[in-house]
A and B are shown apart, each in its own frame.
Chain A
Amino acid sequence: QKEVEQNSGPLSVPEGAIASLNCTYSDRGSQSFFWYRQYSGKSPELIMSIYSNGDKEDGRFTAQLNKASQYVSLLIRDSQPSDSATYLCAVNSNTGGFKTIFGAGTRLFVKA
């Protein structure tokens, strides 16, 4: 079992819709959770971080964390074609030192 699992997609949504990206993780000791966006040929860019159960909103982005279910999600409201990218879920575990473990990413396509 991979430490961080994501559906590879592609996930295709129409412009203006809500895109929902999901991630599960295996280490119950995980403390910090991140969503990075990676455009093709570019490096990952941090867009959201969350540490506590519940929702965290930042503009059109909402991260959701459920530690009991070991589940993290990212909602993108009013999706735009410029949101088309690969979204990487990443988890930082105290038991793993300071390294952050990444999922394989979910490719999102927003159709104009």
Chain B
Amino acid sequence: GAGVSQSPRYKVAKRGQDVALRCDPISGHVSLFWYQQALGQGPEFLTYFQNEAQLDKSGLPSDRFFAERPEGSVSTLKIQRTQQEDSAVYLCASSLNPGQGAIHGYTFGSGTRLTVV
């Protein structure tokens, strides 16, 4: 696609509910990142994929967070048993390859705003 596409754009979940957030990166982009951005804060790294391999998940805040990219394209971030502190904007970013991203930065999707009530 022309850009990074994320869905849904907005999600309201009741506390304890499971949610799944989707990211469709730019076609052919090898590197895919998930970031979490709380209100008034900068994006915080969650996890990184190179193709289908999850090379870094050090930023996932708890074992309730799980991400996958089974075919090396679309990625899903799943949050189980959502808590109020999970309320944030979840941003997906991609780059053609790791080197390009490290040098030229990333293209971000529009994000999914998750509100847990």
Contact surface of A with B, Cβ cutoff 8 Å: 4, 8, 31-32, 34, 36, 42-46, 49, 51, 88, 90, 92, 97-105
Contact surface of B with A, Cβ cutoff 8 Å: 31, 33, 35, 40-45, 48, 50, 55-56, 59, 91, 98, 101-111
> Could you say which of A44, A49, A92 has the most chain B C-beta atoms within 10 Å of its C-beta?
A44
- Give 14 CB contacts A-B under 8 Å: A4-B42, A44-B91, A44-B108, A45-B108, A46-B107, A88-B43, A90-B105, A98-B31, A98-B101, A99-B33, A100-B33, A100-B45, A100-B105, A101-B45
Tell me if A103 and B105 are in contact (CB < 8 A). Answer: no
Tell me if B98 and A98 are in contact (CB < 8 A). Answer: yes
Query: What are the nearest 3 A-B pairs in CB distance?
Result: A102-B42, A46-B105, A43-B108
A103/B106 contact (C-beta < 8 A), A44-B91, A97-B56 known: no
Least CB distance, B68 to chain A, in whole angstroms = 18
Tell me if A102 and B44 are in contact (CB < 8 A). Answer: yes
Tell me if B105 and A36 are in contact (CB < 8 A). Answer: yes
Tell me if A49 and B103 are in contact (CB < 8 A). Answer: yes
Tell me if B108 and A103 are in contact (CB < 8 A). Answer: no
Tell me if B102 and A98 are in contact (CB < 8 A). Answer: yes
> Could you say which of B40, B42, B56, B109 has the most chain A C-beta atoms within 10 Å of its C-beta?
B42
Tell me if A43 and B55 are in contact (CB < 8 A). Answer: no
Q: Give every chain B residue within 8 A of A102 (Cβ-Cβ).
A: 35, 42-44
Tell me if B33 and A43 are in contact (CB < 8 A). Answer: no
Tell me if A44 and B43 are in contact (CB < 8 A). Answer: yes
Least CB distance, B108 to chain A, in whole angstroms = 4
